Amino acid sequence: MPRLEARTLLVPIAVAAIALALSSGILLVAGANPLVALGALVQGAVGDGFALADTLIKTCPLVLTGLAVAIAFRSGAWNIGAEGQLLVGALAATAAVGATRDRPFPLPLVAALVSGIAAGSLWAWLAAALKLRRNVSEVIATIMLNFVAARLVGWAVHGPLMETGARYPQSDPLPMAARLPMLGGGLHSGIVIAALLVPATWFVLHRTALGFRWRATGDNAYATRVAGLAPAEALMTAMLASGGLAGLAGAIEVTGVTGRLFEQFSGGQGYTAIAVALLARLHPGGVAASALFFGALAAGSGAMQRTAGVSAVFVAIVQATVILALLAADSPWLARRRPPTRHTEARAA
Amino acid sequence: MSATALVLVASALALGTPLLFAALGELISERAGVINIGVEGLMLTGAFAGFLGCWMTGSAVVGMAAACAAAMLLGLVFALWVVVLDTDQVVAGAALNILALGVTGVAYRAVFGVTGAALSVTTFPPLAIGGDDPWFAPLRQPLPVYVALALVPLVWVVLARTRLGLTLRAVGEAPEAAASLGVSVTAIRIGAVLVAALLAGAGGGYLSLAYSNTFVEGMAAGRGFIALAIVVFGRWHPLGALAGALLFGAASAAQFQLQAAGITVSYHLLLMLPYLLTLAVLALASGTAAAPAALGRRREE
């Protein structure tokens, strides 16, 4: 964990700026006017009250999945599966509402959120168990489980969860008793849950024995084992927490935003989460800020597609550029060429 | 063998070829110590560039060359990051996948606009072997299938029997030792990553120029990740990669046959098969020490 010094904040901000500049260059090559396109993007992200609300709504799942990825990566578990964990979370939440839909508020909602967390954890558990028992790379396992989860959602909305009357491949709309209460201005209360989980995650990661074990395992699994701290257990618990957060993101999306489950339910938030967590330097507080950045991009890119005719997957280019620029900023090759700062000198001494 | 079995063999070959291309490339890269989880993005790039090249020139061969070249360009970015800048390979590979998704999506829209109708291009025709004889049906495949099959012994011989192959394996097993003998770990790894990108691009080009005749966003559909699993399943050996590619090709083919036969299993559950098979295969095949010793390790470590 780097000390909070100017560089800690400067690098992510510089990286975000570089990524936007480079991506605008790509817009130019793609034949769009970057000024028009970026203007539409900003307008769509923060232009008025609706745009701001849209940004916050799109930030919410990114905070949760970003925290999920940050916990996993800090623990040395390469969970690329937030996408799948989010999807099974949404699926389980929808199914749970189906089983409790005649009960009064807030029972169906609580059932949905709890089931979402449980399903996300279960999905992450599968990958962690394969890793610990069969030495299967969690990278490949979580990615495969993403595909399985997407097909599972497809199957559910074409089959058991298909709406009554079976017109479209989507679930019935959730009853009000299963919806997250609205805060006004188009915002749902899931945003509050996400906001509270930021300091909570920080606390667990930095102020509890569990978080210490996670970080120790991520820093050096061998030393952790020598110290008797059971890295396997740390990896498993970190994956369960990570999957639970991503599953909650799915449950909140379905109970707060969409109100029903359908195919292509996730717009890739689970993958965006990787960029969110890395831009945040895997720090929970940073996740809130970088999720806001990517949330604004997601909200703005829709407007950009409508106004400037630039595909919304443009955001993916920004994400990739952010990740690559951050990796380059941390490159040991560059570090060897950088004059030593007082900080590193002190460490070397 | 019945006609059904022959059709199954034919489509196992056709469906296994893109996996074989990508897996052979990834195998070369991994034997040099670099794990590239960006194969998926390289294949997607190849599929798009192949489609674009063929659409502009009308030639599937030019399309295939464009597929390989574009993937190599992206591979060069990856090599620069993981070999020269010595960054984390998993994260850089993930970035590569996201980058490819974005670039192909934006470029497709920029070049072709928002057309509802699917554009199609000319493709590699199946070779006319054995006339109409049903027994020769599995052999009537487009040229890239034969190229992929011919690469298997070629990669095997180069890796196992040549000086270059020995050097490459040394770089993957003990980079420090190799470097102390005057081998440029950087040069070998960049070369391996580029060859891997070329092959992944060919696998992608096959998707849009031989297996289908169009481009669809995200059309690699996880094949790059399955190729990664095939390398593990095949224990980093070209023959193993061939066996894995055929196994997955057969599984996908069987999935289509079940659908065609009207088996009342949900279409979506059948679509899960390749991914579940990957997990099952990995669970059975992993856990051995066959992986190159320096695989995925940064040089600093």
Do B241 and B36 touch, CB atoms closer than 8 A?
no
A187 φ, ψ to 5°?
-95, 145
Q: Closest-CA residue in chain A for B110?
A: A30
CATH of the domain at B38: 1.10.3470
Number of domains in chain B: 1
Q: Kindly tell me if the per-residue pLDDT of B231 is higher than 60.
A: yes
In a domain, B201, yes or no: yes
Do A24 and B106 touch, CB atoms closer than 8 A?
no
A79 φ, ψ to 5°?
-80, 100
B34 φ, ψ to 5°?
-110, 120
Q: Closest-CA residue in chain A for B218?
A: A313
CA–CA distance, B71 with B16 (Å, rounded to integer): 20
Name which of A137, A147, A275 is nearest B222 (Cβ-Cβ): A147
In a domain, B291, yes or no: no
Confidence label for A229 from pLDDT (cuts 50, 70 and 90): confident
Is A155 within 8 Å of B269 when comparing Cβ atoms? yes
- The pLDDT assigned to A346 comes to 39
Do A145 and A126 touch, CB atoms closer than 8 A?
yes
CA dihedral of residues B56, B59, B64, B67 (deg, nearest 10):
0
Arithmetic mean of pLDDT, B40-49:
96
Model pLDDT for residues A133-156, shown as the tens digit of each residue: 988 889 889 989 999 999 999 999
- pTM for the structure as a whole: 0.88
Confidence label for B44 from pLDDT (cuts 50, 70 and 90): very high
The winner for highest mean pLDDT among A34-48, A181-195, B124-138 is A181-195
- Mean pLDDT is lowest, of A165-169, A189-193, B25-29, B46-50, for A165-169
Q: Does residue B123 or residue A58 have the better pLDDT? A: A58
In a domain, B156, yes or no: yes
Measure in Å the smallest separation between the Cα of B136 and chain A Cα atoms.
35
Q: What percentage of chain B has pLDDT greater than the value 90? A: 51
User: What is the 8-class DSSP label of residue A257?
Assistant: I
Q: Closest-CA residue in chain A for B283?
A: A134
Q: Kindly tell me if the per-residue pLDDT of B295 is higher than 60.
A: yes
B76 inside 8 A of chain A by CB: no
Q: Between the CA of residue A316 and those of A102, A293, A297, B96, B161, what are the distances in Å?
A: 41, 13, 10, 10, 43
CA–CA distance, B87 with B132 (Å, rounded to integer): 54
- The pLDDT assigned to A345 comes to 40
- Mean pLDDT is lowest, of A157-166, A169-178, A183-192, A241-250, for A157-166
CA–CA distance, A122 with A303 (Å, rounded to integer): 36
Buried-state track B59-90, b at ≥16 Cβ within 10 A, e below 16? ebeebbbbbbbbbbebbebbbbbbbebbbbbb
Q: Kindly tell me if the per-residue pLDDT of B181 is higher than 80.
A: yes
Residue A343 corresponds to which amino acid? H
In a domain, B253, yes or no: yes
Closest to A190 in 3D by CA, of A116, A120, A84: A116
Q: Kindly tell me if the per-residue pLDDT of A349 is higher than 60.
A: no
User: What is the 8-class DSSP label of residue B213?
Assistant: S
- Mean pLDDT is lowest, of A338-347, B5-14, B180-189, B283-292, for A338-347
In a domain, B36, yes or no: yes
CA–CA distance, B290 with B286 (Å, rounded to integer): 9
Confidence label for A347 from pLDDT (cuts 50, 70 and 90): very low
Q: Closest-CA residue in chain A for B97?
A: A320
Is A332 within 8 Å of B98 when comparing Cβ atoms? no
Disruptive mutation site among B186, B248, B268 for chain A (greatest number of A CBs within 10 Å): B268
Is B110 within 8 Å of A31 when comparing Cβ atoms? yes
- The pLDDT assigned to B282 comes to 86
CA–CA distance, B46 with B125 (Å, rounded to integer): 19
Distance of CA A348 to the CA centre of its chain: 36
In a domain, B56, yes or no: yes
Q: Kindly tell me if the per-residue pLDDT of A103 is higher than 60.
A: yes
Residue A26 corresponds to which amino acid? I
Q: Residue B42's domain spans which residues?
A: 3-126+149-285
Disruptive mutation site among A28, A305, A333 for chain B (greatest number of B CBs within 10 Å): A333
Q: Between A and B, how many CB-CB pairs are < 8 A?
A: 157
Q: Kindly tell me if the per-residue pLDDT of A304 is higher than 80.
A: yes
CA–CA distance, B50 with B53 (Å, rounded to integer): 5
The dihedral region occupied by B236, where left means phi > 0, alpha psi between -120 and 50, and beta the remainder, is left
Class of domain A6-348: mainly alpha
3-state secondary structure of A170: strand
Measure in Å the smallest separation between the Cα of B264 and chain A Cα atoms.
12
Q: Closest-CA residue in chain A for B233?
A: A136
Closest to B217 in 3D by CA, of A112, A294, A219, A268: A268
3-state secondary structure of A30: coil
Buried-state track A166-195, b at ≥16 Cβ within 10 A, e below 16? eeebbbbebbebbbbeeeeeebbbbbebbe
- With a CB cutoff of 8 Å and minimum separation 6, the contacts of A177 are A101, A103, A104, A105, A106, A107, A108, A109
Distance of CA A316 to the CA centre of its chain: 14
Disruptive mutation site among B106, B255, B284 for chain A (greatest number of A CBs within 10 Å): B106
CA–CA distance, B206 with B203 (Å, rounded to integer): 5
User: What is the 8-class DSSP label of residue B142?
Assistant: B
Partner residues linked to A262 by β-bridges: A170
Closest to A279 in 3D by CA, of A120, A66, A93: A66
CA–CA distance, B63 with B65 (Å, rounded to integer): 5
> What is the token pair recorded at B57?
């020139």
Among residues 217-276 of chain B, which lie with CB inside 8 Å of chain A? Answer: 217, 222, 225, 228-229, 232, 266-269, 271-272, 275-276
